[in-house]
Amino acid sequence: MRLFLVPAVCATLLPLTACVDPADRAELVQSPLVRPPMLNTRPATFDCDDAGRVVVRPLGEDGKAIVLAFSNREVQLKSVATDQGQKYSDGQTVFWMHAAKATLLVAGQEEPESCQKPD
């Protein structure tokens, strides 16, 4: 009798365990009170005109410093006051983000280059 009971219970509960992608369910919005703070400070990637792919990694959770990683080196930059977006500099290199676009002025260059988040 037990041998028949276990499969019957499993067959009954199986539809209840179907996986649903949370993105497909509008009512499943996660509260910002539950979200870990590091989700707001994830690395971002930009494709720049001359420098190529640049990865921006936050240092800490306060947004006051970043590491700008190029293909062959890294530069640590500190936050600079700005009216729009987020601007970082070390006195020579400047990285200024605004939405999906950014401007990069690498030490030694005279003109800034444009950067954009890849699609």
How many domains would you assign to the chain? Answer: 1
Task: Please indicate whether residue 99 or residue 22 has the higher confidence score (pLDDT).
Answer: 99
Structure tokens at 69: 């990683």
Q: Residue 15: pLDDT above 80? A: no
pLDDT in tens, 57-90: 998 778 799 999 998 899 999 999 999 899 999 9
SS3 content of the chain, % helix, strand, coil (to 5): 20, 35, 45
Which three-class secondary structure state does DSSP give residue 22? helix
The verdict on residue 46 lying in a domain is yes
The verdict on residue 9 lying in a domain is no
The verdict on residue 29 lying in a domain is no
Q: Residue 32: pLDDT above 90? A: no
The verdict on residue 16 lying in a domain is no
The boundaries of the domain holding residue 80 are 37-116
